[in-house]
Amino acid sequence: MRPKFLLSTGLSWCCAALPLGGGGACAATVAVDKQAKAMSAFAAPALPPIPRSVFEVPTIPEQGRDPFFPQSTRLFAGKRSSTNSLPAARVALSLRGLAGAPGQRLATIQVSEQPPRHVILGQGEERLIRAQGRELRIRCVQITDGHVLLEVNGVQQELHLRHGS
C-alpha cells in the first residue's frame, strides 16, 4: 500500500524504496513525472490527410499548356482517329425495339448476317461483335423515343424504329 505523503506529493514508488539519504534519485523521478505530464498536455495535433494529385489534359489553352513545349498546340487540336484503321464493314443494322424507363433505356439492335443476331445496348455501352469475318465495335451514343445514335468503328450511324412491323 502506498503511504499518504507519497500520494499527496506525487512521488513515485521508487522514492519510497530508497534510503533517506538518497534524496537525489527521488527528485529525478519527480522531474520525470512532471515532464511526462507537461508533454501529454502539448501532444502534437493529428496531421491532415495528404491530398491526391489529379492530372487532366487541357482541351483549351486557358486550361494549361505543355511545360516542355509551351508553343505547341497539339493538345488542343482535338481527338484524331487513327489513319491506319480499316474501313467499317458493310453490315446492315436495324433497330428492333426500345425498352426501359426514359433515363435507363435499352435498345435491341439486329445485325443482318446469317443467322441474324440481336445486341442489346444501353446508352454509353459498347460491344465487340464479329460480323462477316470482321470485328465491329458498336457503341450506343444516345437513345431517344424513336431512334438510336450508334458509333460503329468510329463512324456515327442513326437507326430509326419502324412502326407497324
Domain spans in the chain, listed from the N-terminal domain onward: 4-41, 93-160
Alpha carbon distance 17, 19 (integer Å): 7
Nearest of 148, 165, 83 to residue 138 by alpha carbon: 148
- pTM, 2 dp: 0.45
Topology of 93-160 in CATH? SH3 type barrels. (2.30.30)
User: What confidence score (pLDDT) does residue 146 get?
Assistant: 86
Going residue by residue through the chain (165 aa), what tens digit of pLDDT does each one get? 555 554 445 444 444 444 555 445 555 566 666 776 666 666 677 888 888 888 777 888 888 888 888 888 887 776 655 566 555 556 788 899 999 888 889 999 988 877 788 899 999 999 998 877 788 899 999 998 888 999 988 889 999 988 765
User: What confidence score (pLDDT) does residue 16 get?
Assistant: 47
Write the CA distances from 106 to 26, 54, 160, 163, integer angstroms.
83, 34, 14, 17
User: What confidence score (pLDDT) does residue 15 get?
Assistant: 47
Strands (E) located in 38-161: 93-99, 106-111, 117-122, 126-131, 134-143, 147-152, 155-160
User: What confidence score (pLDDT) does residue 30 get?
Assistant: 62
Q: Contact 109/94 with Cβ under 8 angstroms?
A: yes
Cβ within 8 Å of residue 8, ≥6 positions away = none
